[in-house]
Amino acid sequence: MKGEEFLREYLDWSDLIKMTLAAEPLNAEPLSVAPKGIVVLGMGGSGIVGDVLYSLSTERLETPLTVVKDFRLPRWVDDGWLTLAVSYSGNTVETLACVDEALKRGSQVVVVASGGKLTELSMLKRLPYFRVPSGRTPRSSFPALLLGAVKLLSSLGINLREASELDVVEVFKSEEALKLGDELAGKLLSRLPVFISATKYYPLALRAKDEFNENTKTIAKAEVYPEGFHNDVVGWEGWRDPVSAVIFKERGDRTLEFLKELLAEAGVDTHTYELDGGYLQNVIRWSQVVGIASVNLALRLGIDPKETRFIAKYKEFLRSSDQLE
Ligand code: F6R
């Protein structure tokens, strides 16, 4: 069955990671002048890379890094900024519009893609470029997009990873992810999933939400804490719908422990997963688990996990629309 083949695109992440770590970016040399700031472009499955890089940057960079998921670049991005465009297809309209604007403003543009217009542009203008394997979906290519971006930035002299961190992500146990994913799918059957994390792990909660949206075709939510203690938590006081809370929590995170107590008091069906590796390792490993869980749940429900009909319709709408010309 088609969906089962798609599951393999999540189970082969170990090989995908090895291939990505072995590949080298093109046209990439250390920048002669450090950028004033870095803007990361990308939508959906490609855009999540920007969220991870943002979280890493808050602890590991002196340079500000911001994420744009829109048609327009902020006014303050100028020729002193580095623009990293991530698009699996290389054809995403929002990303292309910002790249066009960044080039006009004289910003150095660098690209992660598997093909499309962004690849053509990179070849034409000899832009620093990392090519990821084609023929997959953006979401099942997540480790390639993320590690490709980390490698590309590192070859420009911007180091977002801790020593040996990339070696650690190589050691993946797909059988374990399959087991955890199957279990999580069972827990979320006929329930609306709410993925919760600390701010630092927002990209993981968002990844999980997006995976359930796209693979399982269900509404899902991502919430981050401590911000959630100022709003979301009150919603749990009076929850009525068949919802489940899935918490991704670092060991020793006392605020999320406290949240668990509140959810238990409110009788919420809650599942907690402990994150106990390095940051990149945790994000990739648990993204694999939620990817598998969302595909597994789709298969149980007789849904095609791969097809994303409304995204395709939106892209068709953009192609046929002249509002954006
Ligand atoms: C995920 C998915 C979408 C795309 C998004 C942007 O699998 O299909 O979220 O990632 O529409 O497209 P790309 O990634 O090609 O830039």
Digit-coded pLDDT (tens) for 114-132 = 999 999 999 999 999 999 9
Do domains 2-165 and 174-300 share one topology? The answer is yes
> What CA–CA distance (Å, rounded) separates 78 from 255?
39
User: Residue 325 corresponds to which tokens in the numbers above?
Assistant: 């010309």
Q: What is the full DSSP assignment across 250-285? A: ETT-HHHHHHHHHHHHTT-EEEEEEE-S-HHHHHHH
From the CB of 10, is ligand 1 less than 6 Å away?
no
Ligand 1 pocket test target in 41, 69, 86, 88 with most atoms within 8 Å of CB: 88
118 Cβ contact list (under 8 Å, min separation 6): 85, 87, 90, 91, 95, 96, 99, 111
pTM of the model: 0.96
Helices (H), 127-237: 142-155, 165-170, 174-187, 202-216, 232-237
pLDDT score for 174? 84
pLDDT score for 219? 96
pLDDT score for 167? 65
From the CB of 55, is ligand 1 less than 6 Å away?
no
pLDDT score for 4? 82
Read off the amino acid at residue 250: E
From the CB of 128, is ligand 1 less than 6 Å away?
no
> What CA–CA distance (Å, rounded) separates 288 from 294?
10
Low-confidence ranges of the chain (pLDDT < 50): 325
pLDDT score for 3? 79
Query: Measured in angstroms, how far is the CA atom of residue 276 from the centroid of ligand 1?
Result: 29
- Structural domain spans, the chain: 2-165, 174-300
What is the dotted CATH code of the domain comprising 174-300?
3.40.50.10490
State the architecture of 2-165 in CATH terms.
3-Layer(aba) Sandwich (3.40)
> What CA–CA distance (Å, rounded) separates 9 from 137?
8
pLDDT score for 322? 61
